[in-house]
Structure 1
Amino acid sequence: MDLNDLAPQELLTRGLQVLSDLLGPAWTVTIQPPSQGARSSKNLDALVQVQSEGDSVFTQLLIDLKSNVTPRMVEEQLLPKLDLVRQVNHYTNPVVITPWIAPRVQLMLRENGIGYIDLTGNTSLRVTRPAIVIYTEGDTRPPRSSPARNTKATLAGPKVGRLVRLLADVAPPYRAGELAESARLSLPYVSRLLDTLEDQLLIRRDGRVITDVDWPQLLRARAEHLNLLRHNPYVGMVAPMGIPPVLNGLHRLAKEHNEQIVITGSYAARLIAPISVGGQLMVYVPPGPHTPDDVGDELGLLRVDKGADVLLLRAHDEVVFERTVWESGLHRVALSQLVLDCLSGPGRMPAEGEAVLARMQEDPHLWRSEQLPL
């Protein structure tokens, strides 16, 4: 059965079974009967008593059953409920039970002292009396849903990249229609995606106007749906004369190919945040089945199956060539694209991406535009 299709009672039963298994046989987990006059609802919270055998001390868990938990839900629903519970009783601990919880939401819940149990192995519960400390890590990606349930826009796919790049590269305010026109996307699609981003607290709106974008988290969230070398087919090359002559040749070729030859990855990251040396030189080249070989010939490279020190990538979407920059004699991708590429790349590249992201946060005004491109 699809975990997302579980009825509330089944979700409660399975969630409490997870808790019982983690606590072990010396503990009892008991659902308390509803108080007299409590209103009936299929989503009614459950009150659960947890007690160790031979110990008179017990704790109560206020269970909140959710089919899905978003950052916006934590902020607007769970935190106000937590404040109310703590005003009434310091010894009742709120716990969310849901099929799956995203890593970012898990962090929000832990930071605010809210326990959680999901059915893929992610659990967090801290109780003072009796002493209970549980923390387990499970799936970092959601379980697959049936196609009929996939109605919301997600951060996967090339079209999303155009909007994500735009939101990161240009400071608000702006409206959905302006974003759709600038990103060359349909307004209904952009509207659905903005609703998803608002649920994730990656954007904030005042009416129909986007007033704030959490662009660092937005780039991280988008990178989770990318794999640099899988989404951008590449050809491995070796530079017989070393990398410096290749870099000189790239400067010339970028101008000849209408600036559609740009570096990314480790070499580009070192221009911004030099935290490492070496690594493969990664270069986006124009689309076309023979383009990598043609560019490789012009740069004096030799095609190899293993041991490549240069990777020529066919861009998955033209967005990688947008808002590129000349720096230190080289033509590189925009900073937002560089972060996406590094965070979704192999080896030490994610760490390089985080270093670039940190430099970007120091002064966004140096790279972030105040006006949408036409």
Structure 2
Amino acid sequence: MESPRIREAQLLEQGIRALSGLLGPEWQVTQRPNNSRVFDAALEVRADGDSTYTQLLVEAVQAVPPRFVVDRLVPKMQLLREVNHYTNLLVVAPWISSQARDLLQQHGIGYLDLTGNVGIRVSRPAIIIHTVGAERAPRSAPREISRTTLAGVKAGRLVRVLADVPPPHRATDLHRVSALSLPYVSRLLETLEDQLLIRRKGRVVTDVDWPQLLRARAQETSLLGHGTGTFRGFLAPNGVPAVLQQIPRLPTKSIGAIGEGLSVTGSYAAQRFVQVAVGGQLVLYVGSWLDIDDVADELGLLPVYEGADVLLLNEPDSFVRKGSEFVDGVQYVAPSQAALDCLAGPGRMPAEGEALLNFMEAHPQEWRASTKYGGLPPVQD
């Protein structure tokens, strides 16, 4: 097994090679003796035939969670500015998230990851490099600090609770309300704190950056690719409005009204609050006790492989209906779930998700404080 030092050396070598490739043959990137134990390397960068050069002190790390930027890198950058105004800090990593990149840019710290995300700005000599690489961590990239991520059904439950219910929160309360194990809740809270998505005082969650939390969760999932769910596309012969009118009239069986097991998400759920565009695909979650084909028959839908205007999804977890509301006999998911699904959806849905987030930020009293939560059976992920 390779030691962390060997991996760090390889990462540094790849980073220097990538930087040289970006600058081109008319620039020289030279590694100088590094007498400092604070940084991993010292690079001298100059154009051919130019006596002016800049020094880049390099920090090569396997992962760059936002908390690491704030707690470790920003103090180093502040110290550098006091010692030498023309010395710059460059962070090299396998992959750097968009949130971490934004923080690095705000504090004037250069970054380069091996997927192609690069942001370097030097005044003397003038160097400006900005390229965009992977928005999601490659499978080969090391996870940030904790192996517990925002992917999966269980994470979706905790994200919804943190977004919908204003803090303060204790892990024991989140465990009880979400019906998730206490160790899992504690591990995920550590991850969220590393990503600056929550702040804690002691063991109490005192602040939640819920818009960024929903965005981060959406990056780790896909509306049409839930681990436990499947979807089918259909055509509504009489149009989507007719389907919405038909739902309250669906028959009642021994397991209850079919309409109670259907919940609108995606574009039509977002359009209750914001209007980015008219129409779109109707996306319906189908309760676990219902069969998609049976529901399609009751609604008079025709199965199609292309051009579907109705999507029926097996709900990945009953928690997606938490906080839902019936309007004219049709169940709509809560705004936070609609925003999540739009952000993780195809086509124009992410734009609708952003518009809905803007509405939610401007009107928190219309959705956040009114959400009521109770216990649910534990879920398997």
Return the TM-score normalized by structure 2. 0.89
SS at match of 1:212: strand
The counterpart of 1:75, out of the listed 70, 79, 86, is: 70
Rate the CA distance shift 1:229–1:250 in 2: closer, same or farther, 3 A.
Answer: same
Q: Secondary structure at the match of 1:272?
A: coil
For structure 2, which runs of at least 5 residues remain unmatched after alignment? 375-381
Name the stretch that deviates more: 344-353 or 297-306. Answer: 297-306
Q: Which amino acid aligns with 1:26?
A: E
The verdict on how the C-alpha distance between 1:304 and 1:11 changes in structure 2, with shifts beyond 3 A counting, is closer
Return the offset for 1:125.
0.9
Q: How does 1:141-152 map to 2 (within 5 A)?
A: 141-145=136-140, 152=147
Q: Is the 8 A contact 1:64 1:95 kept in 2?
A: yes
Which AA in structure 1 matches 2:341? D
Aligned equivalent of 1:211, options 182, 190, 206: 206
Q: Which moved more, 1:296-305 or 1:176-185?
A: 296-305
Give distance in 1, aligned partners of 2:99 and 2:124.
Answer: 28
RMSD: 2.5
Q: Closer, same or farther in 2 for the Cα pair 1:361/1:327, shift >3 Å? A: farther
C-alpha deviation, 1:249, in angstroms: 1.8
Task: Compute the displacement of 1:369 (Å).
Answer: 2.7
One of 235, 238, 243 as aligned partner of 2:235: 238
Equivalent residue number for residue 285 of structure 1: 286
User: Could you give the per-residue CA deviations for residues 88-140 of structure 1, whole angstroms, max 9, x where no partner exists?
Assistant: 21111111111211122112212221101122222111111111111122222
**What CA distance in whole angstroms lies between the structure 2 residues aligned with 1:6 and 1:143?**
21
Q: When the two structures are superposed, what TM-score results if normalisation uses the length of structure 1?
A: 0.91
Amino acid at match of 2:23: L
2:12 counterpart of 1:29? no
The one of 224, 227, 242 aligned to 1:229: 224
Of 135, 159, 166 in structure 1, the residue corresponding to residue 154 of structure 2 is 159
* Residue number among 70, 87, 95 corresponding to 2:90 in the alignment: 95
Structure 1: where are the runs of 5+ without partners? none
Q: Which residue of 2 aligns with 1:333?
A: 333
Equivalent residue of 2:55, what SS? strand
TM-aligned CA distance change 1:55 to 1:307, over 3 Å? closer
Kindly indicate whether residue 124 of structure 2 is the aligned counterpart of residue 123 of structure 1. Answer: no
Q: Residue type matched to 2:331 in 1?
A: H
Mapped partners of 1:103, 1:3: distance in 2: 28
Aligned to 2:175: 180
- Cα displacement string for residues 41-67 of structure 1 (whole angstroms, at most 9, x for unaligned residues): 5x7432221111211111111212222
Question: What CA deviation, in whole Å up to 9, does each residue of 1:255-309 have, x standing for no partner?
Answer: 8247321111111211110110121111112124x62222223223233333322
Structure 2 counterpart of 1:201, from 193, 196, 203: 196
Going from structure 1 to structure 2, the CA distance change for 1:143 and 1:347 (only over 3 Å counts) comes to closer
Question: Quick check: 2:159–2:214 contact (8 Å CA) kept in 1?
Answer: yes
Choose which of 20, 43, 51 in structure 1 pairs with 2:46.
51
The 1:322/1:372 distance shift into structure 2, 3 A limit, reads closer
Question: C-alpha distance in 2, partners of 1:244/1:370?
Answer: 29
1:156 counterpart SS class: coil
Q: Which moved further from structure 2: 297-306 or 94-103?
A: 297-306
Q: Distance in 1 between matches of 2:364 and 2:235?
A: 36
